[in-house]
A and B are shown apart, each in its own frame.
Chain A
Amino acid sequence: MKKHRVVVTGMGVITPIGATVAVFRDRLLAGISGVGPITLFDPASLPTRIAAEAEMPRDVPTHRDRKVAFLLFAAEQALKDATTNDTRPGGGAAGISVGMGLELFSMPDMISYRQPGFQLPESLADRLTFLQTPADLGAHLLSKIHGMHAPPIVHVSACAAGTDAIGTAYRLVATGRRRWMLAGGSDSMINPMGMAGFCKLGAMSRRNDEPTRASRPFDRHRDGFVIGEGAGMLVLETREDALARGAAIHAEIVGYGNSFDAHGISEPHPEGRGAFQAMSRALADAGIEPADLDCVNAHGTSTPKNDPVETLAIKRLLGERAAKTPICSTKSMIGHLIAAAGAVEAIAAIACMQVGQVHPTINLEEPDPACDLDYVPGRSRLHPQRYALSNSFGFGGQNASLVLHLPSPVD
């Protein structure tokens, strides 16, 4: 039922290692880590006191909820990127599909709230950001700013949300239900409650003395993920529209698949069943065989449970080719951006495809015996690609994968 091919004509990012796609890509290829001591607040005695904070340009308007500012910034950048000869995507139903992080909760506000005689702020804007900020406000604001006609879709599928947002947008454009879409994700959980929640779950690295070495996907000595923040947004439109207005095409989205593990609340299915299903569905949707894949941008969180299970699932998917297919983890450098991860990592995959390289997985010094594939340790590599797979496997067993295609001149 796909009527249209869907292409990416604009990309925008804000990440711990760059606030433009070019800088982000170059630092990824150079293996630069964006992890450091937390500066956004005093982490005091939290067990984890490191994070990958985004580089926010000084002239960008701030917002009480950082992920709203990130979203607007990345979207603006993506739309500028998609503008060619003063024309941008337009006409017809256009919408936003975005993975957003949790509602921002403020502990200081909670303490104020309980004081005798407390009164809510007067203005609507201040009231809406007091104590708890809904996660959909940014999406509506973005729709207003960029003149979107269709209601925004906010995805709350945790770590898979960004990939789900892009995949949903792709389907809507492919089937003609939307003319074009802004899709991606934004998140920022580097705040006291966000950090405390993950600390309490024991999910995060405690390598506070060596922050740049803390995120170490597939490494034997990994001890959890590092939280990151940022946003990635893509402009998706039909290939016909893009060609008609002379837009530069970064890549084509050719497949999307998602699945439930239906297994464990915080651990993946031990055989990688859900991950395999998501990847398989994406390939089937793309109409390609596993042998056609040139690279996998892994979920690769640096957690004890995800990395070996993802390895298993990739082996099941690719068979003998698994050992020959480069697999990289963007999280090794920028940490886990949660709802924004899938979107930022899709952009990482596309940007690297465009220059014929695969970025490294850094800090992979002693591979876990259960992780025995080629994860591009330490240094980037020249590797021309036509098809890349980008994975996001979420807490709660929600799995999502995208197949990205770098068109050749004859495609």
Chain B
Amino acid sequence: MDTSLRSPFDDSLATSGEPLAVTGLGHVICPADAPPCDPTPYLRQRKLRKFMGAQDDLAVVAAGATLASAELSGRPLGERVGLYIVVGYIPFEEKHLSGIVTASTENGSFSMARFSVDGLEATNPIHAFRCLPNMPAFHVSVSFDIQGPYLVTYPGPAQLYLALESAALALETGTIDCALVGGVAHQQNLLVQHHYGRIAHPMAPARLADAAAFFVLEREETAAARRAPRHGRLLSWSVDYRRHDPFHEAFSPCETFEMPRRGATACPSADDSQNDSQNDCTSFNAPPPLSASIVPEGLGPASLPAYLSMAVGRTPLLEHSLCSRDGITASSRWEVA
């Protein structure tokens, strides 16, 4: 078994240039059985609503909240804003598969003859749109008229750092003036729960949340020029990688957030829940009723931006570190307003 080799990455490669201003933050976390969050207020084209699945709803709501906090709402964002988004594993609900499966089965086995006629008939193309990994990026781009560069990657919390690297590079090179960076995962469904149940170090369904969160990054001078709100600064970050054969090796994940207290609870937990009966999806301006069973990894690629969003007003500094299942170790330090 190959022992991990230290990457030649160092902080100077991972963090180049001046600290970047965090001018917007937002998140949405949906507990199980909560009504789906409603993106309608943010949609520029209402006709697209029917094409949207839960991951799209989450992404648009979180992006909308984030852009509002950055005072970038209500106007087309255009070419100078880039979108750097991590999407979780492809979601698919059992109820949407059932009909197709039943219509494609003969004598207990898959029948291509039946699938090609009855199964196809039972297939609703809308469900294809709702599960594709590039669709959250589409819906965010069209809802907020983002025409700039992008990175759409997958599937977990560590990839947020790869999105961050692309965004930081685009800001540093002046390709864009503003980067919307974040993650989205619709995880309370058959396919994602199946995935987390079969891997080494499985995660129970109760630990998986549907979540989306973003932050807005700008160069200091750009933020100052438009008098942007200041929610914090990205001070440093780094990424390392342990190459491995994913079919035979697995890493035990860990993810931590260190937050010195600012006279209040630094990290929301079940103890902070004000109202146990509150089960609606919540957005950035109220602490979410996180269940004690939800761990950071349970938020998928939304974990870092979500905790950053929740940290505002609670701590002056947030330090994130993670070791992901897919061999990535990463860390970052954030000044928080």
Contacts and interface: CB of A to CB of B under 8 A. Distances in A.
B116 interface: yes
A218 to B, nearest CB: 25
Contact of B173 (A1, A43, A143, A274): A1
B137 A398 contact: yes
A147 interface: yes
A281 B149 contact: yes
Contact of B194 (A131, A265, A281): A131
Interface stretch (B63-71, B164-172, B224-232, B276-284): B164-172
A60 interface: no
Nearest to B48: A265
Contacts of B194: 113, 131-132
A134 B156 CA distance: 11
- How big is the B interface, by class? 35 or more
A260 B63 CA distance: 16
B8 interface: yes
Interface string B87-104: 101101000010011001
What's the dominant secondary structure at chain B's contact region? mixed
B155 interface: yes
Nearest to B83: A260
Nearest to B123: A200
B203 interface: no
B148 to A, nearest CB: 7
Interface stretch (B27-35, B126-134, B252-260): B126-134
Contacts of B7: 93, 149-150
Contacts, number: 230
A197 B130 CA distance: 12
Contact of B165 (A136, A141, A177, A192): A177
A111 interface: yes
B125 interface: yes
Interface of B: 2, 5, 7-9, 13, 16, 48, 51, 79, 83, 87, 89-90, 92, 97, 100-101, 104-105, 108-110, 112-113, 115-117, 119-120, 123-125, 128-129, 132-135, 137-138, 141-142, 145-155, 158-159, 161-162, 165-166, 169, 172-174, 191, 194-195, 197-200, 239, 241, 243-248, 250, 326-328
7 contacts: A92-B8, A105-B92, A149-B7, A175-B169, A176-B13, A197-B128, A398-B137
Interface of A: 1, 41-47, 92-93, 102-103, 105, 107-108, 110-111, 113-115, 120, 124-125, 127-128, 130-132, 134-137, 140-141, 143-144, 147-151, 153-158, 164, 168, 171-172, 175-177, 192, 196-197, 199-201, 257-265, 273-274, 277, 281, 394-398
